[in-house]
Structure 1
Amino acid sequence: MLATIIHDGALRLEQRPDPSPGPGQVVVANEFAGINAADLLQRRGFYPSPPGWPSDIPGMELSGRVVNVGPGVDSSLLGRRVCAIVGSGAQATHSLVPAPHLIEVPDNVTLEEAGGFAETFITAFDALVLQGHLSHGQRLLISGASGGVGSAAVQIARLLDAHVTAVTRTPDHHAQLVDLGADEVITLEDVTTIEPVDVVLELVGAAHLSLAQSRLANFARVVVIGVAGGGSRVEVDLLNIMRTRSTLTGSTLRSRSHDEKSEVIARVRDALEGPWGRREITVPLAKTFALADVADAYDFFAQPGKFGKVLLSMPNVTP
């Protein structure tokens, strides 16, 4: 197989042996793979892959077709169009995936769109529903709403009929966020003027949370799943946390056990496969690069101002 390899911080393509599935695993012939902030950190040596996953092949989400199954896996999966999250190794022509972590792609959804679905929507669903317990009619504040997870969270919250306040630093993204379901779109400077919220989904970090903590309703839940560009150290007003009886939760998906991920993904399948197939939720795409241009794709991802997912297409797929 052809794979993206991290070598002393640089990215290059190399041939590696095709993976062979073990018990409970499948091999997916990838057509697309998403790029996420964690990939950039892994490239710099700051976010290593979990044990048991390739240490030098980045990529945490993919889409393609199942081409091989291991012992104990239903052979009817062969040929199915799927997407999935992995600990690493997605930015290659083939990947090993635990069978319980597969999500079948609806017939009317392209594999290109599916290449950006798994990491963003699983992460957003886990944070909002399983960690934040967002429910019908509650108020949600999302920082970094223009990114992949943020735009997924806007749509999931709309399905729950929550009131969504989306924060973005790019004025050109306001209309796009409203189209996805945001009730109001504001800039960082306006955070302290909004009505108190029941849930804060924190994707930016200290720069946003330092302001958002003043807008907590009683029994609010703050879920921190990203610190992209906003810093990781913040002064917390503990008296306000006590007064509002709020909770502050930090969460990552990548480091969780196989069984924990399987449980979350099963919940996502039950809740989101139907809306995805009915096109009630979609994956906004910023740009797709050929795998040969992976370094350019990483550079593009690192630039501010984009809206939606950045993908890699495998050599047999035309971007």
Structure 2
Amino acid sequence: MRAVVFPSAGGPEIIQVVERPDPEPGAHQVRVRVAAAGLNRADVLQRRGLYPAPPGWPADIPGLEYAGVVESAGPGVSRWQVGDRVMGLVGGGAFAEYVVVHEDEALAVPAGISVVHAAAIPEAFLTAWDAMVTRGRLARGERLLVHAVASGVGTAAIQLGRALGAVTLGTSRTAAKLERCRALGLDHALRTEPAGLDKAVGEPVHVVLDLLGGPWFAASLRVLAPRGRLVLLGLIAGSEAHVELGLVLRKRLEVTGTVMRPRLHAERVPLVAEFAARALPLFASGALAPVVEEVLPMREVAEAHRRMDANETFGKLVLAW
């Protein structure tokens, strides 16, 4: 099979496409012929040598999400048949023509969505769902604030927040991106820096999805309502923050962090099952949709990395074979 590899750490120029042996499915596994894979910030960090693959996944083949067609099944598989359209998360290896996954971690591609565009769903929507619903316990009528709202996770969070009946607020430094977020249903578009977040937000919020970290973390604590929940998802703006811990005490705040990639099978399966039951039907109804900036051929994967390095993307870039 063909596979995208990072032979060393570096810029987009180090990316290669090479031949690798086809993987074989084991018990309760399916082999998926990958139609497309979504590009994520984690892939960029791995290319730079900052985010290695977890144990058990390919060390040099990136890719955390895939969509394709089941080509073969190992012993004991009962959920899927050859020819089924599936998508899902992996710890690495999605940027290859084939990927092997446990049958319980695969999701059905929603009706009405192409298998290529479906590659933009798993990482963004499962991450947003886990942060908002599982950890943030977002309730109807509550106010949700999302930093880096024009990202893949951010654009998914807008739609999920709307579907759950929340009031959505989002930050970005780019006016044009905020306008596109409004078209997705964002209620309040905030073009601000951390120092001005209090004024921009106004009324306190109940849940914050912080994909930035750094100074945004402390600013988020300030705008949370009593018993508010902050979920840290990324550190693009920095891995250190100076915070007033008294805010956490006085307002009885909950602060948690989450990341999808290193999770073990036992932790992934309940999340996938809940998402399949509660969120997948919303794609069929049109309430949710993948936000795809562009579909590029896999041979242009280096160009996709350059665009993500420059923060030029809105939603997701998808690479197709």
Task: Report the TM-score, using the length of structure 1 for normalisation.
Answer: 0.95
Residue by residue over 1:196-236, the C-alpha shift from the partner in whole angstroms, topping out at 9 and shown as x without a partner, is 111110001113222222111010000001112x1110012
* Match 1:225 to one of 233, 246, 249: 233
1:191 paired with 2:197, answer yes
Retained in 2: the 8 A contact 1:188–1:208? no
| Inter-partner Cα distance in structure 1 for 2:57 and 2:298 | 20
Residue by residue over 1:145-175, the C-alpha shift from the partner in whole angstroms, topping out at 9 and shown as x without a partner, is 0000011011111111101111111100222
Residue by residue over 1:25-48, the C-alpha shift from the partner in whole angstroms, topping out at 9 and shown as x without a partner, is 111101110110111111122111
Retained in 2: the 8 A contact 1:26–1:69? yes
1:2 paired with 2:8, answer no
Residue by residue over 1:240-262, the C-alpha shift from the partner in whole angstroms, topping out at 9 and shown as x without a partner, is 11111001101111111101001
* Match 2:117 to one of 91, 98, 113: 113
1:204 paired with 2:208, answer no
Task: Report the TM-score, using the length of structure 2 for normalisation.
Answer: 0.95
Retained in 2: the 8 A contact 1:26–1:98? yes
| Inter-partner Cα distance in structure 1 for 2:42 and 2:189 | 26
Which residue number corresponds to residue 253 of structure 2?
A: 246
297 and 305 in structure 1: CA distance in 2 versus 1, 3 angstrom threshold: closer
Which residue number corresponds to residue 88 of structure 1?
A: 92
Retained in 2: the 8 A contact 1:49–1:55? yes
| Inter-partner Cα distance in structure 1 for 2:290 and 2:20 | 31
Which stretch of the first structure deviates more once superposed, 302-311 or 2-11?
A: 302-311
Q: Which runs of 5+ in 2 are unaligned?
A: none
Cα RMSD (Å): 1.2
Aligned partner of 1:206: which letter?
Answer: G
Alignment of 1:61-72 (within 5 A): 61-72=65-76
Which residue number corresponds to residue 317 of structure 1?
A: none
Which stretch of the first structure deviates more once superposed, 293-302 or 150-159?
A: 293-302
Aligned partner of 2:6: which letter?
Answer: I
The list of structure 1 runs, each at least 4 consecutive aligned residues, that deviate by more than 3 angstroms after superposition, is none
SS at match of 2:111: coil
SS at match of 2:228: strand
Identity %: 36
| Inter-partner Cα distance in structure 2 for 1:76 and 1:273 | 17
| Inter-partner Cα distance in structure 2 for 1:129 and 1:181 | 19
> Alpha-carbon deviation of 1:87?
0.6
* Match 2:291 to one of 260, 284, 289: 284
| Inter-partner Cα distance in structure 1 for 2:273 and 2:180 | 29
SS at match of 2:117: helix
Aligned partner of 1:291: which letter?
Answer: M
> Alpha-carbon deviation of 1:75?
7.1
